[in-house]
Amino acid sequence: MAETQKSSINPALALVAAAAGWFVPGLGHALLGKWGKAMVYFFAVALLAVVGLRMRGNVFSSNAADAFDMLGFFADIGNGIFYFLAGAINPAGANVAIAAGDYGTRLFATAGVLNFLCVLELLQIGFGSREERRTAA
């Protein structure tokens, strides 16, 4: 029971860590002192994002033409800094006419969704789960 109470932190710090973790994958976990997770999450998201971009995957923008483009944008924006550096990482741009570009699009979106899951974990650490709140009360 002491373990569950120790894992809950200040909610304001949780929000700052979540924002930092979205912008730079793993940074939120590093702010909370979870260095192992921070490194694993950074390298997992970075690897998926950079490989996806180097395969000339498509990066969706906010001016979406339809619902699927908007879903792609939300998945891609989850990459944080990698979304904003996409043009610098792959100056040649997207080429989904080849299979590698199509796979690259999926890898980049997967990296964004993975980073969103890491942000959700930060919020759960900060605010605690329902079970933790029940046992602490």
- When pLDDT is cut at 50, 70 and 90, the band that residue 109 belongs to is very high
Whether residue 131 is predicted with pLDDT greater than 80 in this model: the reply is no
- When pLDDT is cut at 50, 70 and 90, the band that residue 3 belongs to is very low
Confidence (pLDDT) at 25: 97
Number of residues in the chain: 137
pTM for this entry:
0.85
In whole angstroms, give the CA distance from residue 49 to residue 21.
15
Confidence (pLDDT) at 96: 86
Q: Tell me the one-letter amino acid at 17.
A: A
Between 72 and 137, the more confident residue is 72
- When pLDDT is cut at 50, 70 and 90, the band that residue 136 belongs to is low
Whether residue 133 is predicted with pLDDT greater than 70 in this model: the reply is no
DSSP 8-state class, residue 90: -
In whole angstroms, give the CA distance from residue 56 to residue 68.
19
Structure tokens at 28: 């939120």
